[in-house]
Amino acid sequence: MSNPFEDLETYLANALNLDADIAGILLGMALTIPLAIMLIWTLDPKGKDQSGNIFVVAFGLGIGISTAVGWFPIYIPIIVGLLFAFIVIDPFGSKRGR
């Protein structure tokens, strides 16, 4: 049996005449962005979370799933993890020292 996620990536790459890695990134974004929007609206319907934790959880879950099925290369979650660390830690925030 073949992997349906790799098959979908191959079919999209052939249909759009793209490299398989680019097709995987497009499929990963097509999964991650709607999943993140759905989770943000579900977990924080009033938009009161100012810390960005809901954002990190929603996009982190989508990126994790896209990497687990093989659509995202491993360097994408590493780079996004570093960006999320800066969002959560907030090193340039005005809350410190005052």
Domains in the chain: boundaries: 25-89
Find the range with the poorest average confidence among 1-5, 13-17, 85-89: 85-89
Helices 20-43 + 53-68 axis angle, to 10: 150
Sign of CA dihedral 77, 70, 23, 59: negative
Angle in degrees, CA 83, 74, 21, rounded to 5: 110
**8-state DSSP, 65:** H
CA neighbor of 68 nearest in space, from 2, 6, 1: 6
Question: What is the per-residue pLDDT across 17-71, written as a single tens digit (0 to 9) for each?
Answer: 999 999 999 999 999 999 999 998 998 888 787 767 888 889 999 999 999 999 9
pLDDT at 49: 74
The pLDDT score that the predictor gives to residue 95 is 62
pTM score of the predicted model? 0.82
Contacts of residue 3, defined as CB under 8 A and 6 or more positions apart, other chains included, come to 70
Q: Which two tokens stand for residue 98?
A: 């005052």
Average pLDDT over residues 75-98: 80
Calpha distance 71→28 (Å, rounded): 6
